[in-house]
Amino acid sequence: MVKAKIEGDALLAAFGAEHVQRLTGLSAYQLREWDKVGFFAPEYAYENRRVAAGRIYSFKDVVGLRTLSVLSRKHRIKLPELKRTAARLSRWSETPWSSLTLYVLNREVHFQHPETGQVEGAISGQYAAAIPLEDVMQDMRSESRKLTTRPPESIGRIEQHRFTMRNAPVFAGTRIPVSAIYSFTDAGYSPRQIMKEYPGLKTEDVRAALVARENLTRAA
């Protein structure tokens, strides 16, 4: 059985596809295919997914994807069954994989009914007594904090490495692409709001990104 539940004070963060792979155990192919077929799309994404940082995932996305990873890899629940389950659970939540308390019994996903509090099969509707074995939300909260730990000397620096984000500019000590800041800025986000989405970034990082963009514009 597996439990995944986001509390009201859930951590706000944003993650690139490479971080999501590390946190969830899903492959790049699975993330692309699930997005392509409309099964699981990232909360923040360009219409053209092929651009750098075309897929940016929220913390809720990561929790949901980790839950799906456990369901598919550990409990061997196939994608068609997960799709059927998602259609059923969508009656109760737009983000069922991260906002509902989920369980597995006999390879069927069960959920805690928001109105009755009883645990029932998402497809069968049968009631079951279940004990959650894994708290995905808490696990992802801990792991995501590790990803955002940076040495002080890296703050405010932009780097490029051949094997990091396909050589795209990133903030030193992270895999967060600088282009992601441009996307949020273009969407009207303030530096403070951007830092809420990326808890690992500081004011100096956002400032460095904006200065770099100004320099590129002038050079053009």
**Joined tokens for residue 49:** 């997914």
Ramachandran class of 38: left when φ > 0, alpha when ψ lies in -120 to 50, beta otherwise? left
Q: According to the model, what pLDDT value does residue 160 have?
A: 84
Q: According to the model, what pLDDT value does residue 131 have?
A: 53
Give start-end residues of each CATH 1.10.1660 domain in the chain. 14-144
Give start-end residues of each CATH 1.10.10.10 domain in the chain. 150-219
Residue 16 near residue 165 (C-beta atoms within 8 A): yes
Q: What integer is the mean pLDDT of 179-200? A: 89
Give, in words, the CATH class of 150-219: mainly alpha
State the sign of the Cα–Cα–Cα–Cα dihedral 149, 155, 159, 165: positive
Q: Is the pLDDT of residue 4 over 60?
A: no
Pick the residue with more confidence: 4 or 112?
112
User: Residue 53 class from Cβ within 10 Å (0-12 exposed, 13-18 middle, 19+ buried)?
Assistant: buried
Q: According to the model, what pLDDT value does residue 6 have?
A: 43
Q: According to the model, what pLDDT value does residue 219 have?
A: 73
Q: What percent of the chain has pLDDT over 70?
A: 86
Q: Which fold has domain 14-144?
A: Multidrug-efflux Transporter Regulator; Chain: A; Domain 2 (1.10.1660)
